[in-house]
Every structure is written in C-alpha cells, then in structure tokens.
Structure 1
C-alpha cells in the first residue's frame, strides 16, 4: 500500500542510515538500496536524498525509467503543504 508523506517526512530521510527518499513529481521513492545500483553512481542519489529531485531526474531520464523502477522503488506520494 502507498503511504502519504509530507515534505518534512521526506526531508528526514536524507542519508543511508535513516533511508534515502526522493520526490519525483508527486511520488516518493526509497532509493536507499538502489543507490549502489544507480548507473550514475550513489553520490548523485545521496546529493538529492530528502529532496524533490524532479528537475534533476527529468534532465537525465525519461518516462521509461519510471515505468521500469517505479514498482520496485515507489513507496507513496507527497502531500503538499496547505495552500492559502
């Protein structure tokens, strides 16, 4: 089942010990175990852990990558902060 995360929840998962979560669009992915498999290297994922990585992701990837890895890595969605 998918969970709902706040941006603060995701931000708290910013290293390998706590887990590394990233946001792409509105989806949250746990890339902790994937970091060593990442073709671009773990360093890149560590840099964006706990953050919205949408801009960086779409710069180097396309929809095919999400379709391939989403079932394995997606853990939920981010709930935006209340808008006034």
Structure 2
C-alpha cells in the first residue's frame, strides 16, 4: 500500500535526523539509508532532500536506475502537484 504525502510533508524531511525524502515524477523516495551508497556521492542527495528532484534525476539517470531502486526506496506519492 502506498502512502500519500503533501509537498509540505516531503519538505520537512530534508536531513538525516528527520529522514531524507525526494520527489521524482510525483513519487516519494526515502533516500536516508541510500545516501552513503549513492554513486554520485552523498552531497548531491543532501542538496535535493526535501525537494522535487525530478529534473536533476533525469538529467543524470535513465529508466533502469529508477527500476533498480524504486521497490526499495519508494514510500509513496505526492497528493498535490505543487513544486517545491
């Protein structure tokens, strides 16, 4: 079962203490435990934590990356369409 998040919910999860969530294509991902294993480095994920990272994600990744990690990291979807 997928949980619905508001953009405000996601924006409150922007550091390790509160959990690090990002939005990609209206889906919400918890990258808190993935930060240290991210091939591009932790700094990049920390910069987009709590935000819609769709544009940045697609600039550097393809569909196979999303498929590989989606099941493990996806925690829900955004219930409103506003951008951060």
Work out the CA distance in 2 between the residues paired with 1:62 and 1:81: 23
> Partner of 2:51 in structure 1?
51
Please state whether the residue corresponding to 2:23 is helix, strand or coil: strand
Structure 2 unaligned spans of 5+: none
Q: Give the whole-Å Cα distance in 2 for the aligned partners of 1:44 and 1:16.
A: 14
Inter-partner Cα distance in structure 2 for 1:74 and 1:81: 18
Name the larger-Rg structure: 1
Partner of 2:61: 61
Quote the offset at 1:80 in angstroms: 1.1
* Superposition TM-score, scaled by structure 1 size: 0.94
Partner of 2:73: 73
Partner secondary structure for residue 76 of structure 2: strand
Residue 42 (1) aligns with residue 18 (2): no
Mapped to 2, the partners of 1:7 and 1:51 lie a distance apart of 8
Provide the alpha-carbon RMSD of the alignment.
1.1
Distance 1:14 1:40 in 2: 18
Number of residue pairs the alignment of both structures matches: 82
Q: Runs of 5+ in structure 1 lacking a partner?
A: none
